Amino acid sequence: MIDHITLKALVRPFIPGAPSQFDQVAILRNSIIKTVPTTSYLNSPVTGAQVEVLPSVEDVGGTSWQFLTITIPVAATLAGQNMVHNGLEALPHELKCIRALVKWVLRSYQFTQEETAMFLKNTIIQTVEFTWHIVTASRRATLNAQARTIAHFDALENIKGRHDVLVKDVDIWCRNGKTCMLVTFKDGSQFRQYIKAEQATSRTKNNRRACFLSKKMRPYLPMILEAIDTHLRNEVILSASFLNERGLLHPRSWTAEAIESAIVAVMDMGRLNQRRVLKSSDLVRDGLSPEVLKTVERYFSGEPMADSLSPQVFSKHRKLLLPRNIDIADERSNSVSRGGMQLQFAKRWIPGDELSKLAICDDSANAIFEFLTCAPVHANGPYSSDADAVI
C-alpha cells in the first residue's frame, strides 16, 4: 500500500564545531580542511535497497537543533519488490516495519536510545505515496484507459487558471512508447499513472532503479509480470500540508478509513470520482435555460467549449452543469467520460494468496520486524549483505 515515505524530525541540539556522523571532509588549497554535512545512503539489511538520510540544522524556539530527513522506498527496502502491493489491511504491518527500519538507521549512525525516541516522538511526514492497480481486459485496454486519463487532465490543465480547477501542472513523459503522467495539484499533492509492467521490463537506468528487485525476489519476476501485464498503476503522493489539514501528519493518527478518505479526496480534486453523463439524451434538463442546453449540445458534438465560449459564460454554464455530471472542460466527452470511474480506489486489484505473500503481509511483517530489531551494524557502516537478507 505504501510505496514511498519521507519522514523528518529533530534528534538532538546542534553543537557548532562538534564532529558529526554526516560530515564530509574536503581538503582545500593551502591544506585548509572544511567539513560539510552531506546526504548519506544506507542499504537496507532486509533487501539491499537504499535509504536516504539527509541532515540539517534548524532553529526551534531560539535553539539550533539537528534534524534528520529519512526517505524510505518502503516496498523496495522491506519487501524486495514494488510491483505487488497489498491493500489497506497491510497498513499496520507496513508502519510497524517502517518504525523498526528507522530505529535501525539511527542505530547505524550511533544515535542513542534517547535520541531515537525523540525522533520517533516528533516525526512528521513530508510526503507519502500510496499505490494501487486497476485491472483491464488487455494491454490495449490498459493503453486506452491511460489515454483517457491523460486527455482528461490535459483538458483541466487548459483551464487551470480558474479557481474551481485544482490542477496546477500536468507532466507527461513518453519514451520508446512507454508513457508516464504526473499531475500536481495546487495544494502540492500529486497523482501519477503509468503501466508498471512496462517499467519493470525497461532497460533504462532510472526505471531499473524505480523497479528494484532483491536477489530473493528475482525468481518470482515472471510470475509477477504475468499477473500485472494488463494493470494500470495509480499513485497518489500526499504532501505535508494535505496531511496536516486532515490530522494525518503523524502515522499514529492513521487508520484504514482515514487513508482511504485521503486517497478519495485526491481523486476528487482531479474530478476522477464523478460519474459522467455519456450522451445528451441522458441529461436531466429541468431548470436549464435554452442557452445552457445549447452549450450541452455543442459539447456532445465534440466542440472545445473552453475556446468557444467567453470566460464568463464558460464559468457560468460549467457551474450549472457540474452537479448534473457534465464537465464541459473535457474537450472530447466520448473519449474521457468513462476514465475516472474506472480508476476508483474501491475498484483496486487485490492480489491472490501466492502474490500477496511477496508483499508486506502479516507473516512477512513479523519476520522483517524481528530481523530489523536485532540486525547488526558494522563499525564502517550499516550491515547490508543481501545474501543474509530475510526477503
Residue 391 has pLDDT above 60, yes or no: no
Residue 155 has pLDDT above 90, yes or no: no
| pLDDT (tens digit per residue) in 275-318 | 666 667 777 788 888 888 888 888 887 777 878 888 888 888 88
Q: How confident is the model at residue 97 (pLDDT cuts 50, 70, 90)?
A: very high
CA–CA separation, 70 and 52 (whole Å): 6
Question: For the chain, what is the mean pLDDT?
Answer: 83
For the sheet with 50-60, list strands across it.
Answer: 40-43, 50-60, 63-72, 2-13, 124-135, 231-239, 190-194, 178-185, 167-175
What letter represents residue 113's amino acid? Q
Whether the CB-CB separation of 149 and 29 falls below 8 Å is answered with no
What residue spans define the domains of the chain? 2-128+351-377, 280-337
Which whole number is the average pLDDT over 168-176? 89
CA–CA separation, 276 and 282 (whole Å): 10
Cα 115 to Cα 60, 65, 95, 120, 264: the distances in Å are 16, 12, 20, 9, 36
| pLDDT (tens digit per residue) in 126-137 | 999 999 999 999
Buried b (16+ CB within 10 A) or exposed e, 263-290: bbbbbebbbbbeebbeeeeebeeeebee
CA–CA separation, 109 and 20 (whole Å): 9
Residue 148 has pLDDT above 60, yes or no: yes
Percent of the chain exceeding pLDDT 70 equals: 84
Cα 271 to Cα 163, 274, 284: the distances in Å are 14, 6, 20
